[in-house]
Amino acid sequence: MEVRSYLEKKQKLVHRIFSNALSSGKVAHAYLLIGEAGIPLKEVAIYLAKSLVCDHGDPLADETCVKCQRIDKGEYPDFIFLDGAEGTVKKDAVSNVSSLFSQTALEEKGIMVYVINEIENMTPDAANSLLKFLEEPSEGTYAILTSKNEAKVLPTIISRCEKIRLTLSPRSTVVQEAVELGAEQDDAEILSYFFNDGGLVFEQASSDDYRIAKSALVPFLESLCEGPAYARYVMQKDVTPALFSRPTVRFFLDMLSLVFQDIATYQRGSSISLPSYGKIIADLAGKLPHVDSSLLSIMTLRGEAETNINSGLLLSHLVSVITKE
């Protein structure tokens, strides 16, 4: 995604704060970017890190210089990225950053920057380690942290950071932008729930995880119209083998819960949020029993998918809870 134009158009406050800080040389040692699910916090955080070292910064990064490109490839030694979205950040990882960054910068720029995405997903030990590191800021070392859930972040960490809140774009705008960029309407409708930017939605529409999850979702929904026995068959024969990785299982369950929310909405007579799936939603609304409790079960299973290794078992359980009379 084009982070620079995203900031210019959608996150004017962030754009202004960083441009001013960089032009005046008054960059804070630690920033905490806060925003709701879907806001591209990780992308913005990495972009801001690039802006600190970019050769062509004016003052924000152009993303074409050698330094920006090395950051993208993970080949810039004075930049470290830890991702709480991919798994809980452990103490060792944070200690590693603080020991590497207690030495002198390796690059001539003399600036060391680390990004920790979704700091709410850290062990208490890791959070304490981070706090200690933030309490002793050294010259030329910068932290850019993000969180989707400020309530789960240690207040002492928050108070050490300059806090910046990003704003959510209306979903209809995101869908429209994505379609204008070339995304299919049905992809844009679903993905706009997970990615709050048209450019990002367009990119994600061709990602493997999404394509796989969608290729399992559509036949599964169709099989549910045919009754429990056929749904079990399709789940076993097509859906479970397709969803071979944990991210695809999660994506599948997230998408399925959106569709079930719409089925419940349709049954109440309100307007649905995935019109591209209108026909199948209407069909299922007339055929499925207890949609509200199924939705709850899907969400519970989605929580279990974070830790449960046996996705086959989880998915077969899913069919029984949805179809049992």
Binding footprint of Zn ion on the chain (CB under 5 A): 54, 61-62, 65, 68
From CA 214, how far away is CA 319, in angstroms rounded?
Answer: 17
CB of 66 to Zn ion, least distance (A): 8
Q: Between 65 and 296, name the residue whose CB sits nearer to Zn ion.
A: 65
CB of 58 to Zn ion, least distance (A): 10
CB of 114 to Zn ion, least distance (A): 18
Q: Do residues 290 and 270 lie in contact, with contact meaning Cβ atoms separated by under 8 Å?
A: no
Across the strands, what pairs with 113? 79, 142
Q: Do residues 288 and 260 lie in contact, with contact meaning Cβ atoms separated by under 8 Å?
A: no
Q: Between 61 and 134, name the residue whose CB sits nearer to Zn ion.
A: 61
Q: Between 65 and 179, name the residue whose CB sits nearer to Zn ion.
A: 65
Closest-CA residue to 53 (of 40, 71, 41) = 71
Q: Between 65 and 299, name the residue whose CB sits nearer to Zn ion.
A: 65
Which residue spans within the chain are E strands per DSSP? Answer: 30-34, 79-83, 112-117, 141-147, 162-165
CB of 3 to Zn ion, least distance (A): 12
Long-range contacts of 124-131 (CB under 8 A, 24+ apart): 125/90, 125/91, 126/88, 126/89, 126/90, 126/91, 126/93, 126/94, 127/153, 127/154, 127/157, 128/91, 128/154, 129/91, 129/94, 129/95, 129/98, 130/94, 130/157, 131/156, 131/157, 131/160
Q: What residues have CB less than 8 Å from 148, skipping those under 6 apart?
A: 34, 35, 36, 37, 39, 41, 118, 120
CB of 21 to Zn ion, least distance (A): 17
CB of 59 to Zn ion, least distance (A): 11
CB of 65 to Zn ion, least distance (A): 3
| Burial class of residue 248, CB neighbours in 10 A (0-12, 13-18, 19+) | buried
From CA 191, how far away is CA 183, in angstroms rounded?
Answer: 10
**Phi, psi at 170, each rounded to 5°:** -60, 140
CB of 85 to Zn ion, least distance (A): 25
CB of 64 to Zn ion, least distance (A): 6
Q: Between 63 and 118, name the residue whose CB sits nearer to Zn ion.
A: 63
From CA 225, how far away is CA 55, in angstroms rounded?
Answer: 58
Which value, to the nearest 10 degrees, does the dihedral of the CA atoms of residues 154, 120, 310, 299 take? 100
